[in-house]
């Protein structure tokens, strides 16, 4: 097995990877920016090394320096986590050239799937259902107009290099295209350094359902069911669950086997996620494949009893999968809430600051992935997600009740968070049915915000009396 793994990430996911290394008897090297020098999880690693200044470009995105540290510290592999360099084919190639194993798929596969428009065309050619849209990249308003004419409005103009819900604009009319295409293109350029755009028909009221796959170097590929990630704000996930209430065993098997075939066709190795949209008639369409561990992977771990990071490391070392599809069975229900240091009452503005006091929930079926501690300083340099609260229970309703209990137990003092916003999602009738779609938050946010605001008031009043 690997002797030493460098963890090229920060925060909760760095901590989560270090934990799996420790359990596997593998040494870990954490790298951190100057802004993260006081992070408590650094103490869990065998060693930690400062790699530069706070801005990600000078630390967590500094591929050369990270590889240099890996070499200096005798690491035989690098785990990239999510975000940062995780989907950077050039970085994976640099690792390879330096004789260090990149824990993820090959640079060629990352490249192929990272260009979302090309990935879509590839999957369509394999017979995987995709949303009607452009054949490759579009470069001008006129091109978009003629495609929209052919497939019909509404459409979505999407950044081919996109991620995290950015570089995407809906157009309901030719006027929208003319006005919004340049804006989307500019955002893509600013966020990803690449303004390649493509077009998809907008699927009305879809669920976002994604399938987790694991593929080893021997050609064995399995799926670990789905995650319903339809609680989204501006195309970004807030809350995820597994299984998805809408899938019958038959549909689960169908989507799972298509995801497995898609992974095989592209020569996929390691953990990956095939994302689909599921329409109101349960037709599903491929939208993209993420070539990394996903933020919401814990819900899959809870229902399958598999440590996905552990399996990623085994696969990267060249070991065959320890289980076949017939050995994998879903059990119970899991939900994850992404807790962010944001002010929901102020348009979800990030709220950096000092966290004076933290208390996380525990108890039956409860998991908290977080690097936060009492006294943590939240800097404005990185993602505002500060914790993932994950629950497991035998049934969906019990999991919801357990998550309500967990959120009510959580105390985060000093910065504003979305705790109450999450809590009131869990009381919303539409959420409770399980039949909500990606429009749920946009449709109900005022109502949920109203309840969350009242919750604050009630808490303040009871504290005063
Ligand atoms: P997931 O699909 O795992 O839920 P998200 O879309 O929420 O992933 O993104 C996970 C993290 O990766 C976030 O921190 C996000 O900002 C970052 N991210 C996603 N795609 C990209 C990208 N193309 N470039 C840079 N960062 C990205
Ligand atoms: P990213 O790379 O930012 O994760 P995705 O292509 O995965 O982008 O899309 C993110 C979200 O945007 C989806 O989960 C869905 O809510 C919405 N979306 C993307 N494509 C479509 C589409 N064709 N129709 C409707 N919604 C879409
Ligand atoms: Mg996506």
Closest of 125, 289, 129, 118 to residue 203, by C-alpha: 129
* CB of 295 shorter than 6 A to ligand 1: yes
Residues in a beta bridge with 390: 336, 367
Helix (H) or strand (E) holding 242: strand 236-242
Q: Give me the pLDDT at residue 459, please.
A: 64
Whether 436 contacts 278, CB under 8 Å: no
pLDDT value of position 457: 73
Locate the ligand 1 atom nearest the alpha carbon of residue 83 and give its number: 12
H helices then E strands: how many in the chain?
14, 22
Task: Say how many C-beta atoms besides its own lie within 10 A of residue 315's C-beta.
Answer: 23
Q: Which residues are catalytic?
A: 292
Output the pLDDT for position 462: 65
**Residue with CA nearest ligand 2 atom 12:** 235
Angle of CA points 103, 105, 111, to nearest 5°? 125
What confidence score (pLDDT) does residue 461 get?
74
State the pLDDT at residue 465.
Answer: 66
Cα of 356 from ligand 3 centre, angstroms: 34
CA distances, 385 to each of 34, 164, 205, 370 (Å): 19, 13, 26, 9
Mutate to test the pocket of ligand 2, among 133, 134, 169, 235 (most ligand atoms within 8 A of CB): 235
Sequence-distant (6+) residues with CB within 8 A of 25 are 1
Q: How many CB atoms lie within 10 A of CB 187?
A: 17
Cβ(154) – ligand 1 distance below 6 Å: no
Mutate to test the pocket of ligand 2, among 82, 157, 165 (most ligand atoms within 8 A of CB): 165
- pLDDT tens, residue order, the chain (465 aa): 999 999 999 999 999 999 999 999 999 999 999 999 999 999 999 999 999 999 999 999 999 999 999 999 999 999 999 999 999 999 999 999 999 999 999 999 999 999 999 999 999 999 999 999 999 999 999 999 999 999 999 999 999 999 988 999 999 999 999 999 999 999 999 999 999 999 999 999 999 999 999 999 999 999 999 999 999 999 999 999 999 999 999 999 999 999 999 999 999 999 999 999 999 999 999 999 999 999 999 999 999 999 999 999 999 999 999 999 999 999 999 999 999 999 999 999 999 999 999 999 999 999 999 999 999 999 999 999 999 999 999 999 999 999 999 999 999 999 999 999 999 999 999 999 999 999 999 999 999 999 999 986 766 776 676
Q: Which residues pair with 273 in a beta bridge?
A: 212, 290
What is the distance between the alpha carbons of residues 11 and 26, in angstroms, rounded to a whole number?
20
């Amino acid at each position: 097995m690997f002797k030493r793994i460098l963890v090229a990430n920060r925060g909760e996911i760095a901590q989560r990877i270090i934990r799996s290394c420790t359990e596997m008897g593998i040494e870990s090297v954490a790298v951190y920016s100057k802004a993260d020098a006081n992070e408590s999880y650094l103490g869990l690693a065998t060693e930690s090394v400062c790699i530069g200044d706070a801005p990600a470009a000078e630390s967590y995105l500094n591929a050369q320096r990270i590889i240099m540290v890996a070499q200096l510290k005798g690491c035989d592999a690098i785990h990239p986590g999510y975000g940062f360099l995780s989907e950077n084919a050039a970085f994976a190639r640099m690792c390879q050239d330096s004789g260090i194993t990149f824990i993820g798929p090959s640079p060629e596969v990352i490249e192929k799937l990272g260009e979302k428009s090309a990935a879509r065309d590839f999957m369509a050619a394999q017979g995987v259902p995709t949303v009607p849209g452009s054949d490759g990249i579009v470069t001008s308003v006129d091109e978009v107009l003629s495609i929209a004419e052919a497939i019909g409005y509404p459409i979505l103009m999407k950044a081919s290099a996109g991620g995290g819900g950015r570089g995407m604009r809906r157009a309901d009319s030719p006027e929208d295209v003319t006005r919004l295409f340049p804006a989307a293109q500019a955002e893509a350029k600013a966020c990803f350094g690449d303004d390649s755009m493509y077009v998809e028909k907008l699927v009305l009221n879809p669920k976002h359902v994604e399938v987790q796959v694991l593929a080893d170097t021997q050609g064995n590929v399995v799926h670990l069911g789905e995650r319903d990630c339809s609680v989204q704000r501006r195309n970004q996930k807030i809350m995820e669950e597994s299984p998805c209430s809408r899938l019958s065993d038959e549909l689960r098997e169908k989507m799972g086997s298509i995801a497995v075939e898609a992974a095989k066709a592209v020569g996929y190795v390691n953990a990956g996620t095939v994302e689909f949209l599921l329409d109101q008639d349960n037709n599903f369409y491929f939208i993209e494949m993420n070539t990394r561990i996903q933020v919401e992977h814990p819900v899959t771990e809870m229902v399958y009893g598999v440590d996905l990071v552990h399996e990623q490391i085994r696969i990267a070392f060249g070991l065959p999968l320890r289980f076949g599809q017939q050995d994998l069975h879903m059990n119970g229900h899991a939900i994850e809430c992404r807790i962010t240091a944001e002010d929901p009452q102020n348009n979800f503005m990030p709220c950096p600051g000092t966290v004076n006091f933290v208390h996380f929930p525990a108890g039956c079926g409860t998991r908290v992935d977080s690097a936060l501690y009492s006294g943590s300083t939240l800097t404005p340099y990185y993602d505002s997600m500060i914790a993932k609260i994950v629950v497991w229970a035998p049934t969906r309703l019990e999991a919801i009740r357990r998550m309500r209990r967990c959120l009510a137990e959580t105390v985060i003092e000093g910065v504003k968070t979305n705790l109450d916003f999450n809590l009131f999602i869990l009381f919303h009738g539409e959420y409770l049915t399980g039949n909500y779609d990606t429009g749920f938050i946009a449709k109900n946010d005022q109502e949920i915000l109203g309840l969350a605001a009242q919750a604050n008031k009630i808490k303040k009043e009871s504290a005063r009396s």
